[in-house]
Amino acid sequence: MPSPFVFNVPSARYRRRSTGRFVAQSEILAARDEFADIKALEVDRLTRRINAGTITLNAWEQGMRDNLKDGHIAEYMLGKGGKNNMTQRDYGLLGRRLRDQYHYLRGFTNDLAEGRLTERQALARAQMYANSAVAMFEKGRTEAMGMPPLPQYPADGQTICLTNCRCHLDITTRDEQWDVFWVLGEAEHCEDCVRLSETWAPFVVPRVMRTVSA
């Protein structure tokens, strides 16, 4: 069965296949967050199993790698407009991001092996890995719009709330620039996110030719 949505490349927005009307951004953001919540539940169950001793450390790490890969690809594709809009550049961006995440995950695995984390600490840290995929949705959106890289994205780990951030970017395209607004999420937000909502109001990105690379 085909998707009820189709991505409109010129506007970088989804339309309903049945009516041709644009899908509200709030609906797309709800899908972003719902998927992140599902992946967070998966790593919670996985980490509880390693704490209970019912799976091996190797099986846990492989499960976490699979979760990271699935979450990052799905969130990025949602932002970019689906698989048909993916380019070699997009897969290159995802590959580099996942290599970094796998490197950090190896440190997490070592900490578990050495008993450096309590069960509560392990569960909280695992959640952060699942939530980190939210940043790739925002990255995918900016790529779909042809924008250059931004200095930061919600849930990319640069704010006090780290990857638990559920803020989003609201972007207006103008003739010579993009106006980027940092919009606070409905949940509690940290001081950094409040500051960004005040300073990115908007954050102006000049529309210049981007050099395309993998």
pLDDT by residue for the chain (214 residues), tens only, comes to 667 899 999 999 999 999 999 999 999 999 999 999 999 999 999 999 999 999 999 999 999 999 999 999 999 999 999 999 999 999 999 999 999 999 999 999 999 999 999 999 999 999 999 999 999 999 999 999 999 999 999 999 999 999 999 999 999 999 999 999 999 988 778 999 999 999 999 999 999 755 444 4
DSSP H/E element including 123: helix 119-131
pLDDT at residue number 196 = 98
What's the number of CA atoms in the CB half-sphere (13 Å) around residue 193? Answer: 23
pTM score of the predicted model: 0.93
Residue 109: CB atoms within 10 A of its CB come to: 17
For residues 96 and 45, give the distance between their C-alpha atoms in angstroms, rounded to a whole number.
27
Residue 50 near residue 119, CB atoms below 8 Å? no
β-bridge mates for residue 181, sequence order: 170
Residue 72 near residue 95, CB atoms below 8 Å? no
pLDDT at residue number 2 = 67
For 60-135, strand residue ranges (E) read: none
